[in-house]
Chain A
């Protein structure tokens, strides 16, 4: 798959400078990092700022960058979607990975999920609701996210669809993942073709892994 984001910090720095002059890209050992003051923008004015660090995975854009709030402004608690190390849970990662690969640039990530997350944090800080809602924590939130991505609510159906999407090629005579007993060609062929354009097999595999992991965590907690 084509890598579209340069992993050279100098090139990355140039990309950031126009909109994010306070962010700087650099290497720390083998890690490629972006660090600095991140502005929350409304039209062209800055409403607020957060000190952040972003680690760009070597497999970017096939992996979601990790983000930390490093100014110790956001309480590191579940309800603020922040881990104890300042790690920010912007969204269920596969929601980002389900975007077309050419749209998954670092700038788009900063302007989208990162900006939204920190804007929402300003609401939370003032005791207001998250303006676009929030996912439930853990397994339930993952199910919610994948239901949104696939348009399927039943967990079993959802997993069947994801399993199917892990294949590079899907045959029309296979059983439809909706559980109707029909073959795909006579059932959800249109829907499946549409999903294939958005969800790559690698994303489907990661999604299944995430569902399994969160399911076991939820089970572990319940036990």
Chain B
């Protein structure tokens, strides 16, 4: 198999199967979240849509969150007068069914038994009646609100012609646990591959890593939804850039020394739960020095 076919196979293995259990469970949970929010704000319900990688088509199975918007009308006060009040109201409503973990502009939902559902809710308020631009509450950092636009983001990514490379590089970033925010990383990939859009997957990935390695200062992409208002430089600092450079360099070396499988591993075949269980038992059976987990009651 040549490199491009290999990379395409890796991509296929990272798609959520449309009729799979995982997606069914996720959709069921999404419906539950939706009905909780609709019931709580039934007189003036928020707009609930997919956002994030699911909407943009950049999802990789190995690491994904299903972002759901909860955007209220510009002059709606059902969830509060201010963005901070909306944020708190949504937390309060969801807390009846979930453990809610506030992030910067999203609320992560975890079950009472600490199971993470891969669902984040993003509360916000539309800027005007066109229901396009939206203000998001910022839970940390210096800004209190962020102006953004989901449609602009989705279109920008989808029209970029580099979605397959974005997905592969997201997989690479996830496997190496590189601390760059997902949406900034996607914009960075588009920025760096602007002149390589017609190149092969292999060429695009190498171009990305080589550009990162060869550029001493961080390349900070523009936020297409608010180019003047959202400065992303605080999300791509010297420290983060240096981390990206180091890992990119190691990756290029791995390709040179051991080939592409050292970067993305063998292509993982789709599996049924029965097959998975069987393989787990096989793996446990060959352990020669079993260990037993413990817990210190600190």
Per-residue A-contact encoding for B266-289, CB less than 8 Å = 1, 0 else: 101000010011011111101101
Residues of B within 8 A of A13 (CB): 250
Shortest Cβ distance from A124 into B: residue: B293
Interface residue stretch chosen among A125-133, A175-183, A188-196, A201-209: A125-133
Contact A45 B266 (CB under 8 A): yes
The distance in angstroms between the C-alpha atoms of A22 and B63, with both chains bound, is 15
A12: shortest Cβ distance to chain B, in Å? 12
- Distance between Cα atoms of A49 and B116 in the complex (Å): 16
User: CB-CB contacts of B235-262 with A at 8 A, as 1s and 0s?
Assistant: 0000000000011001000100010001
Which chain B residues border A51 with CB–CB below 8 Å?
63, 174, 177
Residues A145 and B176 in contact in the complex (CB < 8 Å), given A42-B279, A131-B281: no
* A75-B113, A123-B284 known; A132-B176 Cβ under 8 A: no
Residue of B nearest to A137 (CB): B295
Question: Bound complex: CA of A75 vs CA of B110, how far in Å?
Answer: 9
A141 and B177 form a contact (CB under 8 A):
no
Among B175, B281, B296, the residue within 8 A (CB) of A214 is B296
Residues on the B chain within 8 Å of A61, using CB: none
What separation, in Å, do the CA atoms of A42 and B286 have in the docked complex? Answer: 9
B250 and A120 contact, CB distance less than 8 A: no
Q: Mark A22-53, 1 if CB is under 8 A from B, else 0.
A: 10101000000001110111111111010101
User: Taking chain A's interface residues, is the majority helix, strand, or loop, or is none over half, making it mixed?
Assistant: mixed
| Nearest CB on B from A75, distance (A) | 3
Tell me the smallest distance from the CB of B57 to a CB of chain A, in Å.
22
Minimum CB–CB distance for A125 against chain B, Å: 9
Bound complex: CA A133 to CA B291 (Å): 8
Provide the residues of chain A in CB contact with B268, threshold 8 Å. 45-46
Per-position binary interface string of chain A over residues 111-135, scored 1 when its CB falls under 8 Å from any chain B CB and 0 otherwise: 0110011011011001010111111
| A residues 126-161 touching B (CB-CB < 8 Å) | 126, 128, 130-139, 141-142, 145
Q: Binary interface profile of A, 194-223, with partner B (CB < 8 Å = 1, else 0)?
A: 000000000000000000001001100100
- Beyond A39-B265, A75-B115, whether A138 also contacts B295 by CB under 8 A is yes
Interface residues on A, range: 35 or more
Is A73 on the interface with B (CB-CB < 8 A)? yes
Would you give the 0/1 interface string for B174-201, flagging 1 where the beta carbon is closer than 8 Å to chain A? 1111000000000000000000000000
Q: Are B177 and A35 in contact (CB under 8 A)?
A: yes
Residues of A within 8 A of B113 (CB): 75, 77
Identify which of B115, B250, B277, B287 contacts A126 (C-beta below 8 A): B277
Interface residue? A110 (CB, 8 A): no
Query: B65's closest neighbor in chain A, by CB?
Result: A72
The 8 Å CB contact of A75, one of B114, B276, B279, B284, is B114
- Do residues A134 and B294 form an inter-chain contact, with CB atoms below 8 A? yes
Q: Are A120 and B265 in contact (CB under 8 A)?
A: no
In the complex, whether B1 has a CB less than 8 A from a CB of chain A is no
Confirm or deny: B17 has a beta carbon within 8 angstroms of a beta carbon on chain A.
no
Residues A133 and B246 in contact, CB atoms below 8 Å apart? no
B296 touches A117 (CB 8 A): no
**A187 at interface by CB-CB < 8 Å:** no
Kindly state whether residue B128 has any CB partner on chain A within 8 Å: no
Once bound together, how far apart are the Cα atoms of A13 and B283, in whole Å? 26
Q: Is the CB of B293 within 8 A of A40?
A: no
Question: For residue B284, which residue of chain A has the nearest CB?
Answer: A131
A96 to B114, CA, bound (A): 29
Where the two chains meet, the residues of A that have a C-beta atom closer than 8 Å to any C-beta of B are 13, 17, 21-22, 24, 26, 35-37, 39-47, 49, 51, 53, 70-73, 75-78, 81, 83, 88-92, 95-96, 112-113, 116-117, 119-120, 122-123, 126, 128, 130-139, 141-142, 145, 214, 217-218, 221
Given contacts A128-B277, A142-B294, 9 further A-B contacts (CB under 8 A): A21-B262, A24-B247, A112-B289, A112-B291, A120-B293, A131-B281, A135-B292, A139-B297, A217-B297
| A and B contact pairs by CB, cutoff 8 A, 13 listed | A42-B279, A42-B286, A51-B174, A51-B177, A73-B116, A89-B293, A116-B291, A119-B287, A126-B280, A130-B293, A134-B293, A135-B295, A141-B295
